[in-house]
Structure formats: C-alpha cells, structure tokens
Amino acid sequence: MGAPDTRDPFFDNAKFLLIVLVALGHSWEQIVSGTHALQAVHTVVYAFHMPAFILLCGYFSQRFTARPDQMRRLLEGVLIPYLLFDTAYAATNSAVRGEPFALTPTEPTYLCWFLVALFLWRLSAPLWRAVRHPVAVAVLVSLAAGTTTMGYDLALPRVLMFLPWFVLGLGLRPQHFALLRTRVARRWAVVALALAGAGAYLFVPAPDEHWLSMDVGYTELGVGPLRYLVVRLALFVLSAVLVAAFLACVPRRRTLFTALGAVTMYPYLLHGLLIRAGEAAGLYPALKDLGPVGQVVLTVSVVAAVFLLSTPPVRWLFRPFVEPRLPRRSVPGPPSAAQDGPDAVLTARRSSRSRPSS
C-alpha cells in the first residue's frame, strides 16, 4: 500500500478556483469595455484574486530559509520558467500585435510579472522573520512604493505594492484558516461578496483598474498623495474582507478539481498563449457583439481551457518548460522538504492542522 494522501483538499481547491479567476480576468479584459454587469464582476474578482493567490504563496513559504536545495527548486520552479515564458510571450506579442521582438528579462511581459515577484518575495521570506510587526512594515513599504515614480523593472511596483499579502501569509497559521470553516463564516462571506458585487455595479466604470492591478503610483492615477494613501488603505481592508469571504466559500472536501490544484503553474503560464491566439483569430470582437451570450460562451470556454491545461497530456508536453531540471551536483545536502517543486509555492501536501512546508 502507498503512503496515505496527506494533502489538505481545501488549499488545492482554493488554488484551482483562483487560477480559474485569473484566467477569466485576463479573458474578460478582451471584451469588458462598454459592458456593465461584466465590468462589475471583473472589478470584484480583481479586488481579491491576486491578494488571495499571493497570501497562499506566503503561507507556503514559511519554512523557506534559502537552503541550497530550496534555492535549486526556486530556480527550477520559478526563475527558469520565467525566462522561458517571458521569451515566449514576447514572441507571441510580436507575432499577434506587431510589437518589435526584444528580449528584456528585466521587464516582465504580460502575466510573467508574477514569477518575478514570486522569486523576489520568496527570497525575502527569511528577512521578514527578523522584523518586528512585519505586516505593518510591509504595508508601509507598499504605500511608500505608490508615492514614487519607479519604472517597471523587475515588476517592482507590483512586487512592493502586493508585498503585504505575501508577508501576511507568512504569519498565518492553520487555526486562522479554521476560523473560516464555520457555517456562520460562509453565510457572512456570501453577504460580503454580494454587497461587493452590488457596489461595483453601482460604481461602474469606476474605479480605475490600476488601483487594483497595483502597477502604477499616485501620479499615474491622477490623484494627490493624501487621497492615494487613503484609498489604498481602504482597498487593503476591502480586499482583506473579500479574500476571507472567498476562502470561506472554498470547499473543504475533495472535489472534481481538487487534484488539479496541485498543478496550477501549467494553466497559469499557458492560458495567456490561448488568449493571444484568440486575439490573433479575431475572436473577441465577435464575442463582444453577441452581448451576454458571448460573455457566457467566453466564460465557459475559459473554465474548460483551465481544466484542459491541467490534464496529464498537456503537462507531459510542456513539463520541460514549466518544470525544467538543472543538472544535479553530486555534493550531498540536507533532505528536501515535500512541497518545494515548481508548483510548491502554492501547494499543500500537509494537513491544514500542521505547519505548511516550504
């Protein structure tokens, strides 16, 4: 008999649902202009899906100490795939959009910014253990970043502005997630998500999407520094409520998609190529002309695509690019922790009753 499966289905369920929302958000961007209900849904999703994703990254980075074996897995699972897919997306943009092809690895292309950010966040994990009140410090760093005029090298605006969610994840424990497992929490979660949707619907087309994508500072947003700081603090609170609401709604038991939550790096890195293919085929204007029907067709197609990109044949085909392997040294080292593979940044092999592995 094999070893019992000790993965907590909750985390795999959460990861899969979040990657579906990421893919939907990128796809809806192609047709969202001029809509109303879809814009509201898009706004609500963007208010919490990346904060939740990043929070889980932090949670499963708690034991990262930059050991040689951990650094190797970080290189194989994050940095090398970043270089490969950044090149692929640069070539795709050149072919589809006519942009000049240029390899600029210090300026991430499209969704590849997340891999750069993840690499830097995880490297910083040991640092936050030495800081008192790390979440408060990270919030101050995030707010200060928005008052600067830094460029997009290494996706630094997003690295710094989303940083509090990673640091918050580093400090969470299983009992914090247990608070969301109650029936009362789920009821309030539905209320919170419904109110957020209603509010977003009333304020369409506001807010500017850059408030939620965290890629520009206050000058680009056209507001003064005081207003910027107040709005950003309010968005932190709103996002925290919605992250908690989302997690409260995630199923705790095994589902049809639980196993796919262990391989989220595949649909994350590949779905953008399908989006660009649809753009090249002129698909999105046709879907937009169909109105709500086109929105439903696109949504269903994207969910199906995420399932497809998570299947074994696709993983077998793209494994050399998503899970590359460096030549191994013959020098013995400490035993590796389970969960440090290319998708380990968001993986939960252990039960939620135990501390997360690195």
Question: Does a structural domain hold residue 328?
Answer: no
The rounded mean pLDDT for the chain is: 89
User: What single DSSP character describes residue 155?
Assistant: G
Question: Does a structural domain hold residue 81?
Answer: yes
Apex 334 CA angle, 333 and 340, nearest 5: 105
pLDDT at 267: 97
Domain interval for residue 78: 10-320+335-346
170 pLDDT exceeds 50?
yes
- pLDDT digits 0-9 by tens, 100-154: 888 888 999 999 999 999 999 999 999 999 999 999 999 999 999 999 888 889 9
What length is written for the chain? 358
For residues 189 and 187, give the distance between their C-alpha atoms in angstroms, rounded to a whole number: 5
336 pLDDT exceeds 70?
no
3 pLDDT exceeds 90?
no
- pLDDT digits 0-9 by tens, 273-305: 999 999 999 999 999 999 999 999 999 999 999
User: What is the CB-side half-sphere exposure of residue 254 using CA atoms within 13 A?
Assistant: 6
pLDDT at 319: 96
pLDDT at 99: 86
pLDDT at 259: 93
Question: Does a structural domain hold residue 342?
Answer: yes
Apex 80 CA angle, 348 and 151, nearest 5: 100
Q: CA–CA distance from 204 to each of 29, 39, 197, 220, 237 (Å)?
A: 15, 7, 11, 20, 20
Question: Does a structural domain hold residue 353?
Answer: no
Residue (of 27, 10, 18) closest to 276 by Cα position:
27
Which of 7-11, 174-178, 342-346 is the least confident region? 342-346
Question: Does the N-terminal peptide bond of residue 335 adopt cis geometry, omega within 30 degrees of 0?
Answer: no
Percent of all residues in the chain with a pLDDT value above 90, rounded to a whole number: 80
Token pair for 68: 């040689």
37 pLDDT exceeds 50?
yes
Helices (H), the chain: 9-28, 37-59, 68-74, 80-97, 113-128, 134-145, 156-161, 163-171, 174-178, 183-203, 210-213, 218-221, 225-249, 265-280, 283-289, 292-309, 312-322
Mean pLDDT along residues 213-217: 92
Mean pLDDT along residues 244-257: 95
Element of type H or E holding 99: none
For residues 40 and 17, give the distance between their C-alpha atoms in angstroms, rounded to a whole number: 19
Question: Does a structural domain hold residue 292?
Answer: yes
Question: Does a structural domain hold residue 5?
Answer: no
Question: Does a structural domain hold residue 41?
Answer: yes
2 pLDDT exceeds 60?
no
Phi, psi of 290 (to 5 degrees): -80, -5
Q: Which residue has the higher pLDDT, 152 or 265?
A: 265
pLDDT at 347: 46
Q: Which residue has the higher pLDDT, 281 or 343?
A: 281
For residues 73 and 352, give the distance between their C-alpha atoms in angstroms, rounded to a whole number: 23
Question: Does a structural domain hold residue 357?
Answer: no
Based on the number of CB atoms within 10 Å of its own CB, is 275 exposed (0-12), middle (13-18) or buried (19 or more)?
buried
Query: In terms of pTM, does the model score above 0.85?
Result: yes
Structural domain total, the chain: 1
335 pLDDT exceeds 80?
no
Residue 286 contacts residue 230 (beta carbons within 8 Å): no
For residues 200 and 45, give the distance between their C-alpha atoms in angstroms, rounded to a whole number: 10
